[in-house]
Amino acid sequence: MTTLLDVENLWVRFPTRQGVFDAVRGVSFTLGRERLGIVGESGSGKSMTGRAILRLIRPPGIVEADHINLEGVNLLDKSEKEMRDVRGQRISMVMQDPKFSLNPVMTIGDQIIEAYRLHNSVSKSAAYNKSLEMLEAVSIRDSERVMRAYPHEMSGGMGQRIMIAMMLIPNPEILIADEPTSALDVSVQRQVLDIMDKLVKERGMGLIFISHDLNLVADFCDRVLIMYAGRIVEVCDADKLHDAKHPYTRGLLNSLPRLDAPRNRLEVLQRDPAWSDTPSVSGRE
Amino acid sequence: MTMSDDNNERRPSRAPLSATMWPVARTTIRTLGSIAVTLLGLLFVTFIIGRVMPIDPVLAIVGERASQATYDAVYQQLGLDKPLIVQFLYYIWDVLHLDFGTSLLNARPVSEDIARVFPATLELATLGIIFGVVLGVPLGVLAAVRKGSWIDQVARVLALVGYSMPIFWLGLMGLLIFYGILGWVGGPGRVGIFYVDVVPSVTGLILVDSIIDGNWDVFRDAFSHIILPASLLGYYSLAYISRMTRSFMLEQLSAEYVTTARVKGMSEWDVIWKHAFKNIRVQLITVIALSYAGLLEGSVLTEIIFSWPGIGSYITTALLSADMNAVLGGTVVVGLIFILLNIFSDLLYKVFDPRAK
Amino acid sequence: MTEQTMKQWLLTDTPTSRRHAKISAFYQGWLSFRSNTMAMIGLGILVALVVIAAAAPLLSPHDPYVQDLGNRLAPLGTDGHIFGTDSLGRDILSRLIYGARITLYIVALVALIAPVAGLLVGTISGYVGGWTDTVLMRITDIFLAFPRLVLALAFVAALGAGIENAVLAISLTAWPPYARIARAETLTIRSSDYISAIKLQGAGALRIITKHIWPLCISSLIVRVTLDMAGIILAAAGLGFLGLGAQPPSPEWGAMISEGRRFILDHWWVATMPGLAIFTVSLAFNLLGDGLRDVLDPKAGE
């Protein structure tokens, strides 16, 4: 399988008053044209990993890695200006809540057109038509009205589909989806996921799917990284997740109710301090 | 800012297209109603102040040695024999006709006096607010973008000092240094003594009038006189505007849509100005309007220091000579401008913020 | 109890009594406040001001009212008159020291009157709601719509010049923001579950307002009052400067500037020194207010 992205020994650090806090500690993995899930609890560093790839960690935060190679070119060697050509056009990101991730005072049309025109020098009308097309691709009927609307007039599911359209319109190779359905109603989660899945497959993209939801990831992804305290503690194929060996993963699985194996009392996760000290498992293929 | 709060509470829920006219009309009526009530309150307060003052308005007109008959005649003429509520209605009626009574000092209508002195204040405050916005907004944005850097520290100190310094004292120090010692600027007054009444008054704004007249000597002289008081007033609005801009910007820069813009591959400059700044425009307009109103008020003390013949000087001179009609007239006019600026910023709010519709 | 255990007792995560929790919270607030150097400087200046005001007769080298026409307008550093003398030959330093008393007096009175008035109006308005709320808030809006200094000027003009009237005028223009804050707090507190719980236990409106709502409004009010102090001092000085506040020969700082104004170009120190005094004190209040805001009301910071 072709390797799109190759991350080696990634660290994300934040200096605080109490000393340096390591949010991500020596994470390595690769991404091909696949759906890679990253699972972990809040503060495990999964979101930081996604943002570090795009070099979106703002000072005073520090990103260090041996390399973050995008098709063989190290992103860390790029200037901020060169990085802007990577963002959006080659790697894009969908964030958690469309209520916050869309600009409230710009029309949806303007925001999508802007995303397209940043990387394609085309006329406004061409960009407009392309945006309509893209909105239809995410199953938005009535796309002309939506183009004129403002984000607050949209429902959560609509907003997230708009977000996906906006992030895929420059045709990137990699999409990072950071908890894309956590803020949505359960009823529309599946629909949004299906749309995203279809587009990612059609275009042969790599997808990094960040979530705290083990079952969702097992269901949706090809391969899963399990993060704990800034490290990868386990890597496994999604369909074999239920055979995971690491005690943390096992603990998480056991604390979830299962229809096929009902129990009277769910287990509570018992944490072992040793988990956060053992070195990171490599997620390379 | 108070009015914007009300808007949030009263924002009509989204209605089908056919019914949109009704909520608009209702909001308009409500807004007009609240303006009317505020105006009425303003007049009521000034009316009460006018009644409780220890000066007998009749005596002030007829003098100590007038006969009882004259006194009674004037007493009735002023409507003082009527019940208070009737007097208040008379008062409203007069104000609605821009009649603030006659000045006891020069026996001229107060409204004429105010019309004469007001352009001077307007010119000063406008130049001041331009100074404050042009420097304060970029400074605030920069301080937020480079939070914790030296420029942020400078902005913080500038604001702190501005908040803490008595404006009349700073004016004095400015006069002492830039006029007395360095001689860089003109002294007190709007123009030097040789240029008084040289250009015909068209707008009452001497900078504009001198340009209309093409008299550049007057323009230069007037400019050298206005620059110091205007910069001082501008400094005060800069302190406030830069502080508010900074905190608004910080709030927006931590918002998720800013990350979205970065993910799209935008330059930081565009992220700041095209995305984040667009979101603070509305709040900023309110701050600038309030700040402008504050300058009209701050000019009261500044005008005295710089012998500036504006409404501030007018009110204080009247005050010291117990010319109550002039004081209240001036107060009502300044209060009116406050309310108008509030309404203005409220209207712009509705134009610029799609969520307020 | 040794030093170490005392500290532990103060910093505990598991307080043993309500008083213990209170003291502990206060101590932790103090610790974070203490680490704010600027706020500590502000506090230091204000403590010094209080001491100076209290010990004015001991500290001032001369009687602030005694004139010495032979030695008028003496420059800075003159023998026995470090800050020089004014147009009547009075020692400027001594006048500044006694002026601290007037400043504190004004500030203390306004800080007592305005927030209490605002708290009353705001909590009643927020708790009772309905027509009372509408009327009270309308009145508040009207006062907010007024230019403060001009309104204060008009009030003083009507009431007559003098320090008490200046205090009254400033308070009359200062209360509306407090009322708004108190109302907003009351609205959030009123609808919270624990208020319903107390109501079920039979507590009346008076008890709820005084025992449960007021204490929670206090911290945001304190921050606001401290930040407003600078403005109050400047307003009082402004009134004094216009001759509407403290009357001569009282050594009020604003009035002293007004007096020195006539000599500004030749004898600059007469107006400069009291201005510096005003600046220092209002700066101290601003620094303290910023620090308090960070401790008591972290959300409002930045």
- Homologous superfamily in CATH for domain C100-302: MetI-like (1.10.3720.10)
Smallest CA–CA distance, residue B87 to chain A, in Å, is 50
Q: What is the DSSP string of C127-178?
A: HH-HHHHHHHHHHHHHHHHS-HHHHHHHHHHHH-SSHHHHHHHHHHHHHHHH
Mark yes or no for CB contact C138/B37 under 8 Å: yes
Contacts of B53 in chain C (CB under 8 A): 157-158
Mark yes or no for CB contact C283/B164 under 8 Å: yes
B3, pLDDT greater than 50 = no
Domain residues of chain B, as ranges?
19-96, 112-356
Touching subunits of C (3+ CB pairs, under 8 Å) are B
pLDDT at C301: 41
CATH topology of domain B112-356: MetI-like fold (1.10.3720)
Where does the pLDDT of residue B233 fall: very low under 50, low under 70, confident under 90, or very high at 90 and above?
very high
Phi and psi, residue A269, nearest 5°: -65, 120
Q: What percent of chain A has pLDDT over 70?
A: 100
Where does the pLDDT of residue B55 fall: very low under 50, low under 70, confident under 90, or very high at 90 and above?
low
What integer best gives the mean pLDDT of chain C?
84
CATH ID of A1-90+175-285, from 1.10.510.10, 3.40.50.150, 3.20.20.60, 3.40.50.300: 3.40.50.300
pLDDT at A120: 86
For residue range B246-268, what is the model confidence (pLDDT) as tens digits? 999 999 998 889 999 999 989 88
Mark yes or no for CB contact B42/C145 under 8 Å: yes
For residue range C122-172, what is the model confidence (pLDDT) as tens digits? 999 988 888 888 889 888 888 887 777 888 888 887 788 888 888 998 998
Touching subunits of B (3+ CB pairs, under 8 Å) are A, C
Distance (Å, whole) CA C205 – CA B255? 41
With both helix axes pointing from N to C terminus, report the angle between C130-145 and C163-190 in degrees, rounded to the nearest 10. Answer: 140
pLDDT at C36: 82
Q: What is the mean pLDDT of residues A78-83?
A: 88
Smallest CA–CA distance, residue B342 to chain C, in Å, is 8
Where does the pLDDT of residue B6 fall: very low under 50, low under 70, confident under 90, or very high at 90 and above?
very low
Mark yes or no for CB contact A100/B255 under 8 Å: yes
Distance (Å, whole) CA C184 – CA A228? 42
Mark yes or no for CB contact B41/C142 under 8 Å: yes
Where does the pLDDT of residue B24 fall: very low under 50, low under 70, confident under 90, or very high at 90 and above?
low
- A148: amino acid identity, one letter: R
Smallest CA–CA distance, residue C209 to chain B, in Å, is 24
Contacts of A167 in chain B (CB under 8 A): 263-264
pLDDT at A112: 92
For residue range B206-228, what is the model confidence (pLDDT) as tens digits? 888 888 888 888 888 889 999 99
Where does the pLDDT of residue A248 fall: very low under 50, low under 70, confident under 90, or very high at 90 and above?
confident
Read off the DSSP letter of residue B18. Answer: G
pLDDT at B54: 61
pLDDT at B12: 40
For residue range A41-59, what is the model confidence (pLDDT) as tens digits? 888 888 888 899 999 888 8
- Cross-strand partners of A237: A223
For testing the chain C interface, which of B44, B55, B145, B169 should be mutated: the one with the most C CBs within 10 Å?
Answer: B169
Smallest CA–CA distance, residue B70 to chain C, in Å, is 25
pLDDT at C172: 87
Q: What is the mean pLDDT of residues A34-42?
A: 87
Contacts of B298 (CB under 8 A, 6+ apart): B167, B233, B236, C149
B265: nearest CB among A89, A96, A152: A89
pLDDT at B8: 37
Q: What is the mean pLDDT of residues A233-239?
A: 83
Q: What is the mean pLDDT of residues A228-243?
A: 83
Helices (H), chain B: 2-10, 21-52, 57-62, 68-77, 84-96, 110-145, 150-164, 167-174, 206-213, 216-253, 256-263, 268-270, 277-305, 311-320, 324-352
Residue of C nearest to B292 (CA): C147
Q: What is the ipTM of this complex?
A: 0.88
3-state secondary structure chain A: CCCCEEEEEEEEEEEECCEEEEEEEEEEEEECCCEEEEECCCCCCHHHHHHHHCCCCCCCCEEECCEEEECCEEHHHCCHHHHHHHECCCEEEECCCHHHHCCCCCCHHHHHHHHHHCCCCCCHHHHHHHHHHHHHHCCCCCHHHHHHCCHHHCCHHHHHHHHHHHHHCCCCCEEEEECCCCCCCHHHHHHHHHHHHHHHHHCCCEEEEEECCHHHHHHHCCEEEEEECCEEEEEEEHHHHHHCCCHHHHHHHHCCCCCCCCCCCCCCCCCCHHHHCCCCCCECC
Question: In a 3-state reduction of DSSP, which class is residue B147?
Answer: coil
B15, pLDDT greater than 50 = no
pLDDT at B23: 63
B267: nearest CB among A84, A92, A119: A84
Residues from A contacting B (CB-CB < 8 Å) are 51, 54, 56, 80-81, 84-89, 92-93, 95-97, 100-107, 114-115, 118-119, 150, 152-153, 163, 166-167, 170
B264: nearest CB among A88, A100, A104: A88
Residues from B contacting A (CB-CB < 8 Å) are 14, 255-257, 259-268, 275, 278-279, 281, 352-355
What integer best gives the mean pLDDT of chain A?
85
Q: What is the mean pLDDT of residues B197-203?
A: 78
Mark yes or no for CB contact B264/A152 under 8 Å: no
Smallest CA–CA distance, residue B293 to chain C, in Å, is 8
pLDDT at C100: 92
Per-residue pLDDT for chain C (302 aa), expressed as one digit of tens each?
A: 455 677 777 777 777 788 888 888 888 888 878 888 888 999 999 999 999 999 888 888 888 888 877 777 878 777 777 788 888 888 889 899 999 999 999 999 998 899 999 999 999 998 888 888 888 988 888 888 777 788 888 888 778 888 888 899 899 888 998 998 889 888 888 888 888 888 888 888 888 888 888 888 888 888 888 888 888 999 889 888 888 888 888 889 998 998 888 888 888 888 889 999 999 999 999 999 888 887 776 554 44
pLDDT at C219: 80
Q: Is-contact B226 B124, C-beta < 8 A?
A: yes
Where does the pLDDT of residue B356 fall: very low under 50, low under 70, confident under 90, or very high at 90 and above?
low
Of the candidates B225, B280, B244, B235, which has an alpha carbon nearest to the alpha carbon of residue B129? B235
For residue range B139-161, what is the model confidence (pLDDT) as tens digits? 999 999 988 889 999 999 999 99
pLDDT at C298: 55
C150: nearest CB among B176, B297, B342: B297
pLDDT at B196: 77
User: Taking the model in full, what pTM does it have?
Assistant: 0.83
pLDDT at B357: 56
B80, pLDDT greater than 80 = no
pLDDT at B17: 42
For residue range A181-221, what is the model confidence (pLDDT) as tens digits? 888 888 888 888 888 888 888 888 889 999 888 888 888 88
Distance (Å, whole) CA A48 – CA A58? 11
pLDDT at B11: 38
